[in-house]
Structure 1
Amino acid sequence: MVKAILWDNDGVLVDTEHLYYKACREVLLRYNISFDEERYIDLFLRKSEGLLAILHENGLTEKLDTAQNWRNKRYSELLLDGIGAIGGVTDTLEILKSRVQMGIVTSCKRAHFDLIHSKTEVLKFFDFVLAREDYFNSKPDPEPYLEAMRRNHLKPNECIVVEDSPRGLQSANAAGLRCVVIPRGMTVGLNFDGAWMRLKQVADLIPVVESLQNSEKG
């Protein structure tokens, strides 16, 4: 039985990836390190290695805390201009809200998450949110999704996950969950082997949920 949908945030509900990349690129330029989009996709969206890997390569591991603090501050500044929900998200959430429990499971820091959703008006559709501070190991580790299920008394066969990145897919799969991927922007050309289903847009999730629930009734 499908009782819950667990949503990723960045790239699924809101289009923020380009801003996070911009903040990372700017902080690395402070250390005279060039950083292109292809490298960002590999280290942040496939592997989740982030700034540590780049600074380590350049013998600057001791600069990690400073670099992360500056990156986080810059990202907050970029978010102040306002972020809207991705097209089709609000209408889809409104339809699904009455049919299943819904939560957000994100690697986004709570402060950034709150800034992002200060103007999106989508949080009213969700029953719970897990941000980066709510667990120890981030995606691709399964802990975020395992913790979401533990807190909300859910079983893997009762949930569907919606993700847009390989590391998110890996996290969901490792937690024993069915993962629907909806690639967007930087993640469109990436490998999503192991996904339960791949959709073109978020609205396509509605008939998927309807079909599952109808088959369960039958």
Structure 2
Amino acid sequence: MKKYILFDNDGVLVETEPLYFEASKRALKEFFNVNIQFDDYMKIMTEGNGVWVAAPSATKEEIIIARNKRDIYYQQYLKKEDIAIENVHDVLNELSKKYKMGIVTTSRRVDFEIIHENRGITDFMDFVLCVEDYARSKPHPDPYLKGLEKFNATNEEAIVIEDSQRGLIAAHSANIDCAIVYNEFTKTQDFSKAKYKISKLEDILKILD
């Protein structure tokens, strides 16, 4: 019986992934004259690498400068674009009546706080784990293993809600059932290891009944 839900953030609770791509694409072009293609970007993300591998001749110092500018662009987008996903609050309200919930994200804490300022989503959560809170990021299992630890839960008691292959690999490696929610941005990725595939977040209520 499931008692705990571990949510990915980007693409599941808020629609931020296209903005991160645009910020990364902009910085790569500006600093390294690299026009990264969407498919190449998705492959890099799935493997858990930084986007800067697309500029193999870049020095560490150049990457630091480009990364800082990318982060500025990303935060600018976050503050002006609509990133809400429909019915998230209603779904979380229903789930909170039966389950304990947490967010496990690869976002930096500073970006996460911008994303969720006055949004109310974190009010439903027992904790939030950001990229600073575990040793290795997705697709390694560390983030979700840390989530189990926070709940003092077994893997059988938990379910992960993800939208990316990288997150699915992390959940699968942690031996936790994973439901993939459809996202237009990640629709071409391999979700064959998912326990469930749902078309929208509301469908998680049917799975858990």
Which of the five TM-score ranges fits, normalised by the shorter chain? over 0.9
Find out whether 1:49 has 2:49 as its counterpart: yes
Matched with 1:81 is 80
Question: Secondary structure in 2 aligned to 1:80?
Answer: helix
- Residue 122 of structure 1: aligned partner: 121
Task: Please list the CA deviations of residues 90-122 of structure 1 after superposition, one character each: whole Å capped at 9, or x if unmatched.
Answer: 111110011000000000000000000114221
Give the share of equivalent positions with the same residue, in percent.
35
Q: Provide the rounded CA distance (Å) in 2 between the counterparts of 1:43 and 1:167.
A: 10
Q: What residue number does 1:214 align with?
A: none
Q: Give the drift of 1:37.
A: 1.9
C-alpha RMSD of the superposition: 1.3
Task: Give the conservation status (yes or no) of the 8 Å contact 2:36–2:54.
Answer: no
CA contact (8 A) 1:28 1:34 kept: yes
Following superposition, the deviation at residue 48 of structure 1 comes to: 2.0
- Corresponding residue of 1:20: 20
**Residues 83 and 116 in structure 1, CA contact (< 8 A), matched pair in contact too:** no
Mapped partners of 1:147, 1:121: distance in 2: 23
Residues of 2 paired with 1:190 and 1:129: CA distance? Answer: 26
Letter in 2 for 1:18: P
Q: Residue 171 of structure 1 aligns with which residue?
A: 170
Q: Alignment partner of 2:76: what SS?
A: helix
**What TM-score results when the alignment is normalised by the length of structure 2?**
0.94
* Cα deviation code 1:17-75 (max 9, x no counterpart): 1110111011011121111222222212x22222231122xx11422222211111211
The alignment of Structure 1 onto Structure 2 pairs a total of residues equal to: 207
2:41/2:51 contact within 8 Å kept:
no
Work out the CA distance in 2 between the residues paired with 1:61 and 1:163.
34
C-alpha distance in 2 between matches for 1:182 and 1:95: 17
Question: Unaligned 5+ residue runs, structure 1?
Answer: 211-218
Instruction: Quote the Cα distance in structure 2 between the aligned partners of 1:105 and 1:152.
Output: 12
Displacement of 1:197 in angstroms is 0.7
**In the alignment, is the contact (CA less than 8 A) between 1:2 and 1:159 conserved in 2?**
yes
Q: After TM superposition, which residue ranges in structure 1, 4 or more long, deviate above 4 angstroms?
A: none
User: Is 1:3 aligned to residue 3 of structure 2?
Assistant: yes
Q: Quick one: which amino acid aligns to residue 39 of structure 2?
A: E
Q: Show the counterpart of 1:37.
A: 38
Assess, with a 3 A threshold, how the Cα gap between structure 1 residues 9 and 131 changes in structure 2: closer, same or farther.
same
In the TM superposition, what are the counterparts of 1:59-98 in structure 2 within 5 Å?
59-62=57-60, 63-81=62-80, 83-98=82-97
SS in 2 for 1:146: helix
Q: Confirm or deny: 8 A CA contact 1:55 1:61 kept in the other structure.
A: no
